[in-house]
């Protein structure tokens, strides 16, 4: 037999030698390699799995400067299993997946939660201002889920009608006002006074009941309410000093007293003139301030 064989000899059914051409070697395709099962040693050499995705926030305390720095995971090396962290000051550092990195991620999540809570509180405050609700009342309503899409689902009902008069005494005197708005979600009423100032009261507040009773019949004007009336010799300021069975007594600045029935138009006009006089005083003051600036 020759040392160089050009054909392989194999036995046939009739035990005669038959020529069979050599088979050309064909390397396996990529798909065939993927279908092959991994050997046990290949599984042992398989790299670590990535636990923290890119963008995971971290927060770390540095003892050398006694300060905290925030950052985020920017890369994971599949070969070594180490993570790259970019800090807020631009510094980059690498960490392996251990307890230190786990604590950094935990602190980063807590920091993120705190920032989200702060942002949510700011948004609630802005939203409260938009709907003209007191911030504290609005936050309480949100916590108790009292704000509903439909006012029909509200817990509070409006017991005081709009335009209901009120009277309240401030440091500079009595001011008339009226109920102008009601928030069924929180049970809060808005009172608008004659000078344009507004106050808000919960429906169960005693002070609201008090300012309502100050303007409730039969005595619609409390003692101390100012009156401004024109007489033959000029305008005089006065105050209501007494009330008895439908009759008001007004004492003017010259110590003269005049009695008025509760439905007397002169009394009503005199009370109304107080606000007009205050408005005139403000206009005069503005004009004087303008002249001084010139």
Dist CA 105 CA 88 (whole Å): 15
Q: Which residue has the higher pLDDT, 2 or 28?
A: 28
Single out the residue of 201, 187, 192, 198 nearest to residue 159, CA to CA.
187
Residue 49 — very low, low, confident or very high, per pLDDT cuts 50/70/90? confident
Average pLDDT value for residue range 97-123 = 87
Computed over every residue of the chain, the mean pLDDT equals: 79
Q: Is residue 103 exposed (0-12), middle (13-18) or buried (19+ Cβ within 10 Å)?
A: middle
Is the separation of the CB atoms in 179 and 164 below 8 Å? yes
Residue 195 banded pLDDT, cuts 50, 70, 90: confident
| Chain position carrying tokens 């608008």 | 192
State the sign of the Cα–Cα–Cα–Cα dihedral 31, 32, 35, 37. Answer: negative
pLDDT category at 278 given cuts 50, 70, 90 is: confident
Residue of higher predicted confidence among 267 and 5: 267
Q: What's the Cα-to-Cα distance from 4 to each of 9, 16, 260, rounded to whole Å?
A: 13, 21, 142
DSSP structural state of residue 123: H
Distance, in Å, from the CA atom of 83 to the CA atom of 108, rounded to the nearest integer, reads 15
Q: Which residues contact 146 (CB under 8 A, 6 or more apart)?
A: 140, 154, 155, 185, 186
**pTM (two decimals):** 0.43
d(CA 294, CA 283): 17
CB-based contacts of 237, cutoff 8 Å, min separation 6: 226, 227, 228, 252, 253
Q: Does the structure show a pLDDT above 90 at 84?
A: yes
What share of the chain has pLDDT > 70, as a percent? Answer: 68
**Phi, psi torsion values for 134, nearest 5 degrees:** -60, 140
Q: Strand ranges (DSSP E) for 194-256?
A: 198-202, 226-231, 234-244, 247-252
Distance CA 127, CA 138 (A): 9
Query: Would you call 290 helix, strand, or coil by DSSP?
Result: helix
Cα distance between residue 190 and residue 198, in whole Å: 7
Question: Contact 243/249 with Cβ under 8 angstroms?
Answer: yes
Q: Rounded to an integer, what distance in angstroms lies between the CA atom of residue 2 and that of residue 117?
A: 89
Say how many residues make up the chain. 294
What's the CA gap between 184 and 147, in Å, rounded?
9
58: number of Cβ within 10 Å: 25
């Amino acid at each position: 037999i020759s040392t160089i064989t050009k054909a392989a000899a194999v036995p046939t059914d009739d035990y005669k030698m038959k020529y069979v051409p050599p088979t050309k070697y064909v390397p396996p395709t990529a798909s065939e390699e993927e279908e092959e099962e991994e050997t046990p040693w290949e599984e042992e050499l398989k790299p670590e799995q990535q636990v923290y995705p890119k963008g995971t926030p971290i927060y770390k305390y540095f003892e050398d400067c006694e300060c905290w720095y925030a950052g985020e995971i920017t890369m994971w090396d599949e070969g070594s299993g180490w993570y790259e962290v970019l800090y807020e000051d631009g510094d980059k550092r690498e960490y392996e997946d251990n307890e230190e990195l786990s604590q950094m991620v935990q602190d980063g999540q807590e920091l993120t939660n705190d920032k989200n809570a702060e942002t949510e509180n700011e948004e609630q405050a802005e939203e409260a201002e938009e709907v003209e609700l007191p911030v504290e009342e609005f936050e309480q309503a949100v916590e108790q889920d009292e704000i509903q899409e439909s006012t029909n689902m509200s817990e509070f009902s409006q017991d005081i009608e709009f335009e209901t008069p009120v009277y309240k005494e401030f440091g500079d005197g009595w001011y008339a006002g009226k109920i102008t708005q009601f928030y069924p979600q929180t049970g809060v009423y808005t009172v608008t006074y004659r000078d344009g100032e507004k106050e808000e009261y919960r429906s169960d507040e005693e002070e609201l009941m008090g300012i309502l009773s100050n303007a409730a019949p039969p005595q619609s004007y409390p003692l101390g309410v100012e009156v401004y009336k024109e007489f033959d010799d000029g305008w005089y300021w006065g105050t209501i000093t007494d009330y008895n069975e439908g009759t008001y007594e007004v004492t003017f600045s010259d110590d003269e007293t005049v009695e008025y029935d509760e439905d007397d138009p002169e009394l009503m006009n005199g009370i109304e003139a107080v606000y007009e006089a205050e408005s005139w005083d403000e206009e005069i003051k503005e004009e004087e301030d303008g002249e001084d600036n010139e």
